[in-house]
Amino acid sequence: MIRRSLLAIACAVGLVAPAAAQTASPLPADLQVLFWPAERREQDLRRMPELIPHARIEPSPTPRRLPDGEALDFDSSAFMESQRVAGLLVIQDGRVRMERYGLGLTPQDHWDSFSMTKSLTSTLVGAAIADGAIRSPYDLVTDYIPELAGGAYDGVQIAHVLTMTSGARWNEDYVDPNSDVARFYLTPPPADMDATVAYLRALPRAYPPGERWHYNTGETNLIGVLVARATGRPLAEYLKEKVWDPAGMEGPAFWMLDAQGKEAGGCCVSANLRDWGRVGLMALERGAVPGGQIATARWFESATSQMVDFPENDRGYGAQWWTRGDGAQFEASGIFGQMIHVDPARNLVVVFLSAWPSATSRERSDERQAFLRELKAAL
């Protein structure tokens, strides 16, 4: 059920070189990652910027140190093999207690995050509100993207889109080549309209805004369009200034571009394992990173709180962050086994970079949660 239909935020006021206007055709079949064989994903999720146009985000000039902590006496080898894990990182109290690599990944390699990117895009909304570029999460989406008027997004607030409660009809079936999530990147946009806006403005409404939760990657792309318009800057450039530099990222990142050369807000930032750990630390520390305050502490508290309940399990949803245990922990999550798990009570961040054979798997998700329980018992 919807715990809070609107984002409960009383927000306090709190160099990238994008790939040059690269215009690409819709992805050829060879690059449709959802339908790659498992062996190719294991090899190529570290090579996405070589295969598809991306914007490059340079490292921070002041990288954040991640000192070693007490090493965990914990055997992760069977789990990593079963889950096809490329990178596993455990940070507690700001110190690295475990760092393991598989599938040939190295500490310098990048790995595609898929929907973990959604949590970064949410953070950029918080930054834009703190900057005054976005007035409020309760503003109507059509105030910033007027081309959406007259369709399913009439009366929809930014908060609805952040919490995936807009009510627009959308199919996120990763194994259906005719689903919206599969067709979204393959449909040529009109020459005079943003590709995301062009696709979403044609969606019908399924429910009134705020009534039901429904996962929708296209809407996080829409959030990206909104942030870029409100700030007047490409998302990668804004991420560089607001997150990558102050959080002290040691490596570059790469953000996938759509057919019009714009960053896809809902997907596909590639970065190295330790920098994904720093993303987790940013959220754990409520944005109070060594380089300054990112967004506001109130933003992070709200965005990572449980606003939507799933009665069938212990998961919930915030503002582009998943929650667990009624909000006691929260996660950034992506298909094929990507996850940043944050446990504030234990001052803990755990990162998984993986190449699952399928986009989603209840069995593998349960196995990963069992591993987390065992890991926490060993801390």
Is 118 domain-assigned?
no
Q: In this predicted model, what pLDDT tens digit does every residue of 164-179 receive, in sequence order?
A: 999 999 988 877 778 8
Q: For residues 341-351, give the mean pLDDT.
A: 98
Please, is 69 exposed, middle or buried when counting C-beta atoms within 10 Å of its C-beta (0-12, 13-18, 19+)? middle
- Residue 107 sits in the same domain as residue 207: no
> How many folded domains does the chain comprise?
2
Q: In this predicted model, what pLDDT tens digit does every residue of 18-48 receive, in sequence order?
A: 332 233 334 444 557 877 899 999 999 999 9
Non-local CB neighbours of 224 within 8 Å, separated by 6+ positions:
121, 124, 196, 235, 262, 263, 264, 265, 266
Q: What is the CATH number of the domain that holds 183?
A: 1.20.58.710
**Is the dihedral angle over the CA atoms 217, 339, 228, 318 positive or is it negative?**
positive
Whole-structure pTM value: 0.89
Is 329 domain-assigned?
yes
- Residue 329 sits in the same domain as residue 302: yes
- Of the residues 202, 231, 260, the one at which a domain ends: 231
pLDDT at 195: 86
- Of the residues 231, 264, 285, the one at which a domain ends: 231
- Residue 199 sits in the same domain as residue 90: no
The vertex-244 CA angle with 238 and 245, nearest 5°, equals 95
- Residue 242 sits in the same domain as residue 358: yes
What is the C-alpha to C-alpha distance for residues 6 and 157, in angstroms, rounded to an integer? 8
- Of the residues 193, 215, 231, the one at which a domain ends: 231
pLDDT at 56: 98
DSSP 74-143: ---HHHHHHHTEEEEEEEETTEEEEEEE-TT--TT--EE-GGGHHHHHHHHHHHHHHHTSS--TTSBHHH
- Residue 241 sits in the same domain as residue 219: no
The range of the structural domain enclosing residue 206 comes to 134-231
pLDDT at 6: 31
Identity of the amino acid at 336: F
Is 253 domain-assigned?
yes
Query: Which of 4-13, 46-55, 276-285 has the lowest average pLDDT?
Result: 4-13
pLDDT at 10: 28
Is 254 domain-assigned?
yes
Q: In this predicted model, what pLDDT tens digit does every residue of 219-243 receive, in sequence order?
A: 999 999 999 999 999 999 999 999 9
pLDDT at 326: 82
pLDDT band at 185 (very low <50, low <70, confident <90, very high): low
Task: Work out the mean pLDDT of the chain and round it to a whole number.
Answer: 89
Q: For residues 55-75, give the mean pLDDT.
A: 97
Residue 370 and residue 352 in contact, taking contact as beta carbons nearer than 8 Å: no
Is 125 domain-assigned?
no
Q: Does residue 111 register a pLDDT over 70?
A: yes
